[in-house]
Structure 1
Amino acid sequence: AGRVGRIALLTTNLLLAVLVAWLLTVDWMPLGLDRSSATNFIFVFMVIGGLLLAFRGFELIYGSVLRWCLAHKAMFLSIPIVLLVLAGSIWLGFDKVFGWIPKSLGDGIAETRLWKDATQKFPGLGREFRPALDEGSFLFMPTVSPHASIDEATEALRQLDAAIAAIPEVAQVVGKIGRVESSLDPAPISMVETVINYIPEYKSDEKGRVLRFRTDAEGDYLYDESGALIEDSKGKPFRQWRPQIQSPDDIWQEIDRVTRMPGVTGAPKLQPIETRRVMLRTGMRAPMGLKIKGPDLETIQNFGLEVERLMRSGEIPGLATATVNADRIVGKPYLEIIPDRDAASRYGLNISDVHEAIQGAIGGKMTGTTIEGRERYMVQVRYARERRDDIESLGRILVTSKEGAQVPLEQLADLRYVRGPQVIKAEDTFLTGHVTFGSDPGFAEVDVVEAVRNYLSDKEASGELHRPQGLRYDFAGNYEAALEFNRTLVFMLPICLGAIFMLLYLDSRSVINTGIIFSGVAVAWAGGFLMLWLYAQPGFLDFELFGHHVGHLFNVGPINISTAVWVGFLALFGIATDDG
């Protein structure tokens, strides 16, 4: 009976493993959709089987390992201590963890080869607010010259849309300039917003399911009489991207290349939903930037342009210099009409007469109502566009005096163009301007912002950057959100750990036993950071299986500390104590 039970248990476990492997294969398809489901299933089953065999092997040697650990307690306890120190170096960096040693023994030790190698090997993990999600679209937000007319801005938008639409992987391009008819959209004419949707990598149906198409013996696709692909559930999927396009990042690189035009700034990589959240939270159109607050717009703009010049020098590691963009606040042409009281009085006119003539000619004036059945429409009268679209035409607007004389406006007022703001932003009662920027691939947002902050501080200290009296700047965007999350984490992490400890104590009613079980949290924490560090190492999982690089299959690469990582650690702490 015992043998039959073991066989039944083994059979059940094997069937469950096969079922899990098949479900994971259908959802994951690690070797790609161009490989058959059977090949993908074999790969997934090998991965699961390998993990189960490794666990079974550990079970077989567990007794021997336990006896050795009990016989060499001091040596065994040194292992988790070393792991904790190693985890701290991985997280914070070797310099921060062991920085007290040069202060105590002298700076000479920091110049040794061993110290430099350790510092280079353990620089600390990058930091960001949260990892980006793939929304299936981009938001391209450059700016044009602030003094550009509507026609010039529209032409620039047309050229940008045409260049982006010419990319084969782009499905739809919709761009706009300025703002919609809403007081909640303060965008100036120079601000471009272009939503770019790209086609999926493989041809799919309306529900996003990948379609398969019939092929011949050589693997070439077959077509019907109309030239369309023939659907076949046993065929292979049709890849719509070019061979050199392997990821959405490659599509963005193409967009960045074709949109380099005179008079148009660069833009960081953005996605619609992510950017809208940043804009609602900070008012900026980029995930990183600084807010300059000062006494007047001219001072804010000049300081922002100086900051932009310094940041574009290429001296800041990780900063994408092409995306650095300071707001051009002052530069929009304004038309000023200043009535001359003396000239108006000579023609028997007062200022209100001149104002009414200007309002009626340019803005329009309600003169009556037209009735069409049950519908009523207000009638507005004003000059035709060709008689009011330039300063010379405006000067010929006729103002009627009380005696009936027609006097040109240019004889009654001074008409001139002046520079003014294209948009006025204010926060906390201070006038505000922005300098936005992005990061190069592979660099964490928080680290880039801190590098920019240190760089600007050094420039101020050396006198290369002069900050006017009454002006200050603060970094905002995801950097600000990351700092806020860290402040929250300082309170939440002890609360979660305390709750875990209390639950363990209520179960065992022993502080010693609870402490022993709770120590698994520290070991799990160290193991988590060790795995994050291994993921960033060049040789980790650097081999091929079934013609595919295993590291690419498991997305091996640098992982930054973010909200997602810390939430994962909280879940790991609970799991680590669950089997104690």
Structure 2
Amino acid sequence: SLAEIERIARDIEAVVSQLPGTRSAFADRVLGGKFLEITPDRGELARRNIDMGTFQTVVQSALGGMRLAQSVEGRERYDIILRYDRPFREDAGDLEGILVPTPTGAHIPLGDLAAITYAEGPPMIRSENARLTGWVFVDIAGRDMGSYVTEAREAVAAAVELPAGYAVTFSGQYEQLAEANARLAIAIPAAAALIFLLLMLHFGRLDRTLIIMASLPFGLIGGIWAVWLAGYNLSVAVAVGFIALGGIAAETAVIMLLYIDGEVRKAQPRTHADLFAAISRGAAMRVRPKLMTVFTLLVGLAPIFLTEGLGSDVMRRIALPMLGGMASTLILTLIVIPAIYYIRTGFQLSAGAETISDDAHPDLTEAKGDLT
């Protein structure tokens, strides 16, 4: 019933008002409207031999009005409605004097045929999925929506008793956030898988692809710090910014790896010192292009934080992870990628040296076997 829905809404309002981060909570008043009820006395209508249709027609024409005809003026149409003048229907006492005709030609006052009273009712009836609903409007501040709704759901479940057939659902922006998170749960792994696939198609080697993929978290650290320092919560816009940052980090890491690979192939190092020198030369060739890339992105994204207007908040949350991630991406490209490459290739170089050493002294190897 509407009364029970209003009780539950008021209880929820009292519970969520006590939660940290609640700026305001207001339960929509389901009841509280004033209505004029005209209840016919069927016994009196039967005694007077008045048909219910006649009774309803009189009430309709006197209060709501009855459409008699339509006036046409060019392309405009105006309904011609007949009803009692306002002084004759101003209050309940005036309505009691409305005359209802009988088959015999007599006219009976409406007050003798019906009870005219004021009653409380809902100012508006809302429903969703063919079920009556009541709304509690909540504004939050200083908290992310996800954790707030989780705590609110637990608090409502513990403090509000729901009769059979009643349920509480969180809607509004939280519902949109849940739908977006469900889509991101597919989009983010798909983006990572696509990056992995493209790297494999480009390099054709698993070790090079794993070097790039393992270094991506270092590129995202700057974006995480920037979002935390700005006080932004994780949202769809922030997630889009991180996806873009991941693409930039992967792109710069690939270019760095190509330059290092080229120098290593040209030098053909046989010792760790030669390998270190070749990697250093390849990394040094990327210093100026990387600084130009970072500077270009900073100059391009900075104006977003200086403008105000429609959509500026969303654009800032997209640009901030990219802006903050440039610093960590710079470190990733110039330090982390060369270091990982050196460790990986150094192991291969050491393994190759041991194999060559064993092949160069077969007699010594056989002697060791005999002694054993």
Residues 1:431 and 1:366: Cα distance change in structure 2 (over 3 Å): closer
Counterpart CA distance in 2 for 1:370 and 1:528 is 68
Equivalent residue letter for 1:300: I
Residues 1:405 and 1:419: Cα distance change in structure 2 (over 3 Å): same
Counterpart CA distance in 1 for 2:164 and 2:127 is 18
* Gapped regions of structure 1 (runs ≥ 5): 1-295, 460-464, 536-556
| Alignment equivalent of 1:416, drawn from 87, 109, 117 | 117
Residue in 1 that maps onto 2:20: 317
Counterpart CA distance in 2 for 1:365 and 1:404 is 22
Residues 1:571 and 1:376: Cα distance change in structure 2 (over 3 Å): closer
Give 3-state SS (helix, strand or coil) of 2:50's partner: coil
Give 3-state SS (helix, strand or coil) of 2:118's partner: strand
Pair 1:392 & 2:97 matched: no
Residue in 2 that maps onto 1:458: 158
Displacement of 1:571 in angstroms is 0.8
Residue in 1 that maps onto 2:39: 338
Equivalent residue letter for 1:335: L
Give 3-state SS (helix, strand or coil) of 1:472's partner: coil
| Alignment equivalent of 1:575, drawn from 238, 248, 273 | 248
For the pair shown, the structure with the greater C-alpha radius of gyration is 2
Counterpart CA distance in 2 for 1:439 and 1:298 is 27
Counterpart CA distance in 2 for 1:357 and 1:409 is 9
Aligned residues of 2:15 and 2:155 also touching (Cα < 8 A): no
What percent of counterpart residues are identical?
Answer: 34
Residues 1:507 and 1:379: Cα distance change in structure 2 (over 3 Å): closer
Give 3-state SS (helix, strand or coil) of 1:416's partner: strand
Displacement of 1:377 in angstroms is 5.2
Aligned residues of 1:317 and 1:451 also touching (Cα < 8 A): no
Counterpart CA distance in 2 for 1:377 and 1:530 is 66
Residue in 1 that maps onto 2:328: none
Give 3-state SS (helix, strand or coil) of 1:482's partner: helix
Counterpart CA distance in 2 for 1:343 and 1:478 is 55
For 1:335-484, list aligned pairs within 5 A.
Answer: 335-368=36-69, 378-440=79-141, 442-459=142-159, 465-484=160-179
Pair 1:303 & 2:16 matched: no
Residue in 2 that maps onto 1:515: 210
Residue in 1 that maps onto 2:361: none
Give 3-state SS (helix, strand or coil) of 2:170's partner: strand
| Alignment equivalent of 1:505, drawn from 188, 194, 200 | 200
Counterpart CA distance in 2 for 1:482 and 1:348 is 63
* Gapped regions of structure 2 (runs ≥ 5): 254-372
Residues 1:337 and 1:488: Cα distance change in structure 2 (over 3 Å): same
TM-score by length of 1: 0.41
TM-score by length of 2: 0.63
The count of corresponding residues between Structure 1 and Structure 2 is 253
Residue in 1 that maps onto 2:259: none
Aligned residues of 1:347 and 1:401 also touching (Cα < 8 A): yes
Aligned residues of 2:28 and 2:134 also touching (Cα < 8 A): yes
Give 3-state SS (helix, strand or coil) of 1:317's partner: coil
What is the CA deviation profile of residues 404-439 of structure 1, one whole-angstrom value per residue up to 9, with x for unaligned ones?
322110001111222222222222222111111101
**Whose helix proportion is higher, 1 or 2?**
2
Pair 1:491 & 2:186 matched: yes
Counterpart CA distance in 1 for 2:231 and 2:127 is 39
Residues 1:367 and 1:427: Cα distance change in structure 2 (over 3 Å): closer
Equivalent residue letter for 1:454: E
Counterpart CA distance in 2 for 1:352 and 1:530 is 75
Residue in 1 that maps onto 2:220: 525
